[in-house]
Structure 1
């Protein structure tokens, strides 16, 4: 890594789709970075872990549910003031379990028309646009 270059942290996120084709959105708690911003849930990939395994683990840890990954979307590299992340999104189905928020303040299920109405974390916005473009292409 060159001097002055920031390390990029690989982070997964889930577009969890319910049986009404709504997308799950989670609101970050007031004690998390980017407090009260909305995000697609997920987390950092650990050493030796695949993106897919990370996402299944993180969703279980954060939301107490099991998911099935349907497909991936294009990743987005985003520079926050103190960190650079590569956000790796996957479209997922909720398989089983009741949602139990362990880290987040709130959650919502959003239709595609409502998707861009929330105050999203900046890195998630291009992912949402990619998802909407994906829906229009299928």
Structure 2
């Protein structure tokens, strides 16, 4: 089975999480956290900063690793390293995605997530509770 390793940005601003809707490919119209593939010789954090700049015309700070998700899609195995991030500069301009939304933690279930991204949602909710001193 083909293996793919990617990085994803969980961008948080004012307590809300940035979600993007795919505008292309097999999973068109499904929602995901933005990011992409790590290039040869590139650190995961550098790859994430590069991907967000390319896809969203925005500079981010990679704050911390939230989790790594391994997920078997029918045609490939995905390893996705998910990082909590903050916007440093830019306006989050959609260059590749069809749409985007800022979602509060209790609104994350309102969109149709890609299966691997769906696995991240409970970890984000738990992270936000801990950050707010509720856990």
Task: Please say whether Structure 1 and Structure 2 have the same fold, judged by a TM-score greater than 0.5.
Answer: yes
1:15 aligned onto 2:16: no
Tell me, which stretches of 5 or more residues in structure 1 are unaligned?
1-5
- Per-residue CA deviations over 1:78-109 (Å, capped at 9, x if unaligned) read 11111111010000001111221111000000
The CA distance in 1 between the partners of 2:47 and 2:111, in whole Å, is 26
Alignment of 1:1-138 (within 5 A): 6-18=1-13, 20-29=14-23, 31-138=24-131
Equivalent residue pairs, number: 131
Where do 4+ consecutive residues of structure 1 move more than 3 Å? none
The normalised TM-score by structure 2 is: 0.92
- Secondary structure in 1 aligned to 2:61? strand
Deviation at 1:116, TM superposition (A): 1.9
Tell me which protein shows more strand as a share of its residues.
2
Tell me, which stretches of 5 or more residues in structure 2 are unaligned?
none
RMSD (CA atoms) = 1.1
